[in-house]
Amino acid sequence: MSFFLADQVAPYAWFPEGASSFAPQVDFLFTVILWICIVFFVPIVIAMGYFMWVYRERPGYRGSPEALHNTAIEITWTVVPTIVVVWVFWEGAMGYLDMARIPKGTVDVNVTAKKWQWAFKYENGGEHDVIPVENSSVKELPLLVLPVDRDIKMIMRSDDVLHSFYIPAFRAKRDVVPGRYNYMWFHTTKEGLYDLFCTEYCGDNHSQMNAKVKVVSQEEYKKALDKAIQEPEDPLARGQLLYKRQGCSTCHNAGAEGASGPGPSYNGSWGKPVQLESGAEVAFDENYVRESILNPQAKARKGYGKASPMNSYAGKLKDDQIDALITFIKSLENANSATKK
């Protein structure tokens, strides 16, 4: 275990307030390294400027050709930095091992990363909710709800490329690699709403691959778990929920007709012919939507077939869920027509 007085260190203005058990040690070590840099850098620069002026070349001045030697100074500037570096390494290594050793009895959350969205699944099989966002090109973000004062384990995988899972307030970060599971844990210490980012460039819309983490009481967490496994019985409401929960809204704008995004807008498309990347035309109907969900590249829309291809949802959605999504997408045409009237 590391030895430090981390609880006495106040966070800097550019740090979010710590909300996990890792935050005190990370902040403490960062503070120490920062002050070591300041303490060494400032006197060295001042001394360098002084010596450059005093010993500058000028008429009549001759410097000594002999190399100067001071055993005490040389021992000091070797031993002291070595002790400091070894101590910093020790603190960093102990902190890293604390983060790597996952305790037993954790609350487990499955995390799936894909361009460009985070998806979360709880232990009871329930999936994440969404939260509206103001003043952003992304109107909604995935919402991960966690209980306070518990050890949390993230079981992470990627469906496509390398991503990186980072919650600044928790001082916790780990790469999410395709083809394998990566694990990360932390102990939540404070209720609140926190940011979650992808910090590994993963394509065009990397900057929009964000989410929110909400730490709540144990009672609120149980309510969130119950809500997570519920889907509305009404097909339209269910389709709207799935459209958000499955990340469709991240790429396919459900707003104004023709609105741009990583994927084509569905609003105002129902029943109309659409041009494909191959040059052919097909009707935008139930069969086309279903095939596009299960095999997105089979009949890719013109302008969307090559860059950032959509992932298949085969095996991820049941038939009744696909039907609900079709009902919601069909309603967008009705809503668009009603608005024009």
Output the domain CATH number for residue 183.
Answer: 2.60.40.420
Task: Name the band, by pLDDT with cuts 50, 70 and 90, for residue 341.
Answer: very low
In the chain, the amino acid numbered 273 is P
Q: What is the mean pLDDT of residues 41-56?
A: 90
Q: Do 93 and 160 reside in the same domain of the chain?
A: no
Domain holding 251, by residue range, is 235-340
Q: Do 197 and 255 reside in the same domain of the chain?
A: no
Whole-number pLDDT of residue 202: 87
Q: Do 154 and 209 reside in the same domain of the chain?
A: yes
Q: What is the mean pLDDT of residues 27-56?
A: 91
The closest of 241, 245, 333 to 289, measured between CA atoms, is: 333
Whole-number pLDDT of residue 90: 94
Q: Do 213 and 268 reside in the same domain of the chain?
A: no
pLDDT tens digit sequence for 137-182: 677 889 999 999 999 999 999 988 999 999 999 999 999 999 999 9
Task: Name the band, by pLDDT with cuts 50, 70 and 90, for residue 75.
Answer: very high
Output the domain CATH number for residue 254.
Answer: 1.10.760.10
Q: Do 113 and 218 reside in the same domain of the chain?
A: yes
Contact 243, 127 (CB under 8 A): no
Q: Is residue 283 a part of any domain in this protein? A: yes
Q: Is residue 1 a part of any domain in this protein? A: no
- Interacting residues of 43 by C-beta distance below 8 A, sequence separation 6+: none
Whole-number pLDDT of residue 254: 62
Q: Do 90 and 30 reside in the same domain of the chain?
A: yes
Residue that is last in its domain, among 181, 196, 228: 228
Please state the domain count of the chain: 3
Whole-number pLDDT of residue 14: 74
pTM over cut 0.95: no
Q: Is residue 191 a part of any domain in this protein? A: yes
Q: Do 254 and 217 reside in the same domain of the chain?
A: no
Q: Is residue 321 a part of any domain in this protein? A: yes
Q: Do 87 and 155 reside in the same domain of the chain?
A: no
Q: What is the mean pLDDT of residues 111-130?
A: 88
Whole-number pLDDT of residue 305: 63
Q: Do 10 and 43 reside in the same domain of the chain?
A: yes
Residues 274 and 289: their CA atoms lie apart, in Å, by 12
Peptide bond into 116 cis (omega under 30): yes
Output the domain CATH number for residue 82.
Answer: 1.10.287.90
Whole-number pLDDT of residue 8: 41
Q: Do 283 and 247 reside in the same domain of the chain?
A: yes
Say if residue 235 is exposed, middle or buried (CB neighbours under 10 Å; 0-12, 13-18, 19+): middle
Residue that is last in its domain, among 186, 208, 228: 228
Task: Name the band, by pLDDT with cuts 50, 70 and 90, for residue 307.
Answer: low
